[in-house]
């Protein structure tokens, strides 16, 4: 046995004795590997983890090893016929698996090792080394692009002053630097010490300081060699200055059991309520839901995508349970497997009349542990992503489309993601959320629906009650001046911003980061439900509008920028001219009644009315000369 092998065997024997003694004293069987990183001897101190390079092949920092000669006990690359896992990869200046060394199965040495020869004469003040298995965030051929294997185990760091040690690979560990290798210390790589430590990503580069030495070379005796599990090192770095201690990044915050995301222009909040109004007694005397707008007894009409109850032949898990006024599994809805609205599933309530809504609440099982099926509260069927939507269309139901605009269908105001339960959040209990516009005002709604995570017998979401409560001041779409109505002043303000070309977010109704004709279209067509040309904003475009604008007398009057919507400026250029007729007749509303009564897309024949309209306008103009 060589001196190196003997020293390694002695260390292994001491470790085994320590494990056996620990087992005897504690009564716990020794583990095959230690947890964490254990450093011993030579003043070894871990000062940095990483930083990991962006991708394989990225360069290493300048260091002494780059000008040295790498050496090793063997190399796996030639055995496999590949151009990496070579000795030269130990100091090739690049990180990643494709630039790493692994020892071969064919070797003349008992211990596997890898090192760097610094030359004939000792280099003074060698006091820092860095190495890793693969110090990259992407680009490796393993898993998600990072090779994290082949690095755990017991390393011994050594130095020598023998000239050009790469020429004499069989130098023994003599503990005399002039004749062989001397131990600096050992590094035992176990499981990660976790977030917030410098030994977290165990496969990454780690830099260590140690007591300064003068050396012609450094080497690492590594845990293993060969294809079956040989140690991999993508770079050995050597420094004659100590590395600065780099604090590890703080551990990430603990995961949140519930995550709220409000859509743009809306507010969504939860104050931590968890199971309010819980009542363990059974209906009808117990588990009673508080008075709210969604109750069937208050005129709320529930609708769903499907129901599990009829599928199972039972009289609950049906649409009526959404707003029946009782908590508990036996009064809950679950969607069925036969969902015609797939891939979405939902439950909602149509309100008795348009109402400003300020909060919503729902639960999976917020009461009745007396005679429910779960022998207490049912805690399943509650996690996942919920999407809250509202609408202001008349008589919404299951067939109302998701249009992204509350004025024409369902619009999303936010999502609530139930991740898991903890001490402060029980996913199956009742939770109430405040909803509103971005200023916290209530939302004028005719109905609310909840898109739920799952449907069907296998794991469909259960809801024992959907509750709605009135909110504060109603937010009126398009009411940019906050006077409680979308009116001609708001239209004129929008057109003024369009002319300036300066972006103002409160006029960006299409959320495309510009204020233009698209925003004016939405204000006129969706918010006002009227037509271009409706100068008096009575909901129709007809001769009364022409009478109004020509009596005012600003048609092509030669005064730039003096016209408003009510005075005939319908194309937002600030003047009443022939361009306004083109815009108005192209919209197709002339003498067509209210916009809600016809299709929003203009018919081609509408443009042919321009000539008729122009003649009418000319006549009106002759009767109403400019003053």
CATH 2.60.120.260 in the chain is located at 37-239, 258-475
* Confidence band, pLDDT 50/70/90 cuts, at residue 605: very low
Lowest mean per-residue pLDDT among 334-343, 438-447, 492-501, 606-615: 606-615
Give pLDDT, residue 18: 38
502 CB burial (10 A radius; 0-12, 13-18, 19+): exposed
What lies within 8 Å, CB to CB, of 6 at 6+ separation is none
Instruction: Check pLDDT > 50 for residue 226.
Output: yes
Strand, coil or helix: what is 444? strand
pLDDT category, 250, cuts 50, 70, 90?
confident
pLDDT (tens digit, 9 = 90+) per residue, 95-136?
999 999 999 999 999 999 999 999 999 999 999 999 999 999
Instruction: Report the pLDDT averaged over residues 2-22.
Output: 39
Residue 480 pLDDT grade (very low, low, confident, very high; cuts 50, 70, 90): confident
State the pLDDT confidence band at 476, using cuts at 50, 70 and 90.
Answer: confident
pLDDT value for 478: 85
- Torsions phi, psi of 509, nearest 5? -70, -20
In this predicted structure, the answer to whether residue 627 has a pLDDT above a threshold of 80 is: no
Match 């071969």 to its residue by tokens: 104
Q: Looking at domain 37-239, which of 2.40.40.20, 2.60.120.260, 1.20.120.1200, 3.90.470.10 is its CATH number?
A: 2.60.120.260
Per the model's pLDDT, the better-predicted residue between 35 and 271 turns out to be 271
Using a cut of 0.95, tell me whether the model's pTM lies above it.
Answer: no
Q: What is the 3-state secondary structure (H, E, C) of 137-180?
A: CCCCCCCCCCCCCCCCEEEEEEEECCCCHHHCCCCCECCCCCCC
CATH of 258-475, one of 3.40.50.10470, 2.60.120.260, 3.90.79.10, 2.40.50.70: 2.60.120.260
- Residue 327 to residues 276, 381, 387, 456, Cα–Cα distance (Å): 11, 15, 21, 20
Residue 152: the pLDDT is: 97
Mean of pLDDT values over 187-210 = 96
Whether residue 320 has pLDDT greater than 60: yes
- Average pLDDT in the 469-481 region? 75
């Amino acid at each position: 046995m060589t001196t190196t092998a003997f020293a390694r065997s002695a260390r292994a024997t001491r470790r085994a004795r320590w494990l056996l003694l620990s087992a005897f004293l504690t009564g716990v069987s020794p583990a095959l590997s230690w947890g964490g990183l254990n450093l011993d001897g030579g003043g070894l101190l871990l000062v940095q983890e990483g930083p990991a390079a962006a991708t394989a092949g990225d360069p290493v920092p300048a260091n002494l090893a780059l000008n040295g000669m790498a050496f090793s006990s063997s190399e796996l690359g030639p055995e496999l016929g590949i151009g990496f896992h070579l000795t030269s990869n130990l100091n090739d200046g690049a990180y990643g698996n494709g630039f790493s060394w692994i020892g071969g199965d064919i070797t003349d040495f008992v211990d596997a090792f890898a090192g760097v020869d610094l030359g004939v004469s000792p280099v003074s003040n060698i006091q820092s080394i860095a190495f890793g298995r693969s110090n990259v965030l992407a680009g490796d051929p393993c898993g998600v692009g990072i090779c994290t294997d082949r690095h755990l185990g017991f390393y011994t760091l050594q130095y020598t002053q023998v000239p050009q040690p790469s020429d004499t690979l069989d130098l023994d560990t003599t503990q005399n630097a002039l004749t062989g290798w001397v131990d600096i210390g050992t590094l035992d790589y176990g499981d990660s010490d976790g977030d917030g430590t410098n030994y977290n990503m165990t496969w990454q580069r780690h830099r260590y300081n140690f007591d300064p030495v003068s050396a012609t070379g450094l080497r690492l005796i590594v845990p293993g060699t060969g294809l079956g599990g040989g140690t991999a090192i993508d770079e050995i770095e050597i420094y004659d200055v100590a590395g600065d201690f780099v604090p590890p990044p703080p551990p990430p915050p603990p995961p949140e059991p519930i995550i709220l995301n409000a859509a743009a222009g809306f507010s969504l909040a939860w104050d931590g309520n968890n199971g309010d109004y819980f009542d363990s007694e059974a209906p009808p005397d117990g588990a009673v839901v508080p008075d709210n707008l969604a109750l069937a007894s208050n005129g709320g009409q529930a609708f769903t995508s499907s129901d599990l109850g009829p599928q199972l032949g039972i009289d609950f898990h049906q649409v009526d349970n959404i707003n029946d006024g009782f908590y508990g599994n036996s009064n809950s809805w679950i969607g069925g497997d036969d969902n015609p609205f797939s891939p979405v599933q939902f439950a909602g309530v149509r309100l008795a009349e348009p109402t400003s809504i300020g909060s919503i609440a729902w639960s999976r099982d917020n009461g009745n542990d007396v005679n429910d099926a779960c022998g207490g509260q049912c805690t399943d069927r509650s996690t996942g992503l919920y999407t809250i939507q509202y609408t202001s269309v008349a008589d919404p139901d299951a067939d109302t489309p998701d249009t992204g605009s509350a004025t024409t269908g369902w619009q999303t105001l936010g999502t609530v993601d139930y991740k898991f339960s903890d001490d402060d959040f029980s996913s199956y209990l009742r939770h109430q959320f405040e909803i509103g516009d971005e200023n916290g005002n209530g939302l004028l709604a005719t109905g609310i629906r909840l898109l739920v995570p799952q449907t069907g017998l296998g794991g469909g979401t259960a809801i024992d009650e959907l509750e709605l409560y009135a909110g504060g001041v109603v937010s009126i779409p398009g009411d940019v001046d906050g006077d409680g109505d979308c009116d001609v002043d708001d239209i004129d303000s929008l057109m003024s911003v369009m002319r300036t070309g300066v972006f103002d977010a409160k006029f960006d109704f299409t959320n495309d980061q510009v204020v233009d004709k698209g925003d004016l279209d939405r204000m006129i067509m969706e918010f006002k439900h009227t037509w271009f040309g409706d100068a008096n904003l009575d909901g129709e475009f007809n001769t009364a509008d022409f009478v109004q604008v020509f009596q005012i007398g600003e048609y092509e009057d030669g005064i730039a920028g003096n016209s408003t919507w009510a005075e005939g400026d319908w194309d937002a250029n600030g003047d009443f001219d022939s361009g306004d007729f083109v815009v108005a007749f192209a919209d197709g509303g002339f003498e067509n009644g209210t916009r809600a009564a016809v299709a929003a897309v203009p018919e081609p024949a509408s443009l042919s009315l321009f000539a008729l309209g122009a003649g009418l306008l000319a006549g009106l103009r002759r009767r109403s000369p400019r003053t």
